[in-house]
Amino acid sequence: MVIIEVSPLSGFVMTSRSRMLLENRTIVKKIEVKANVVYIYLEKLNDESQTFILQLEQVIQVKNLKPASIKIYDYYQPGGLQISSCCGVGS
């Protein structure tokens, strides 16, 4: 099992529509939101390219936003595979 861990920009949350669209994908096993971190559990990855789009909405105005972070790792070996990325508003 593979986990995509998304920590959005401060003051932003994933929309319910975005969650519904992700849950309808066959590769997505489940989605959890804990302490403003979105965990997307995937059955497995293969050589086929996958694109995941999370729609966010701003619920609190925050100054000096820090970049969001995305981590991808194996559930059973969290220290093994890990890809980190970050983005800002409008990226």
Q: What is the pLDDT of residues 56-86, one digit of tens each?
A: 999 999 888 877 888 888 887 767 656 665 6
Q: Residues 40-61: pLDDT tens digits?
A: 999 887 888 888 888 999 999 9
Query: Considering the domain boundaries, does residue 60 fall inside one?
Result: yes
42 domain residue, yes or no? yes
For residue 42, what is the domain's CATH number? 2.60.40.690
Other Cβ atoms within 10 Å of 38 Cβ, number? 21
Question: How far, in Å, CA of 12 to CA of 28, rounded?
Answer: 22
49 in a structural domain: yes
* 15: in domain: yes
Residue span of the structural domain in which 31 resides? 2-86
Domain annotation covers residue 8: yes
Instruction: Please report whether residue 91 resides in a domain.
Output: no
Note the maximum CA span of the chain: 40
The continuous run of DSSP H or E covering 47 comes out as none
Query: How many domains does the chain fold into?
Result: 1
> Which tokens sit at 52?
């995941």
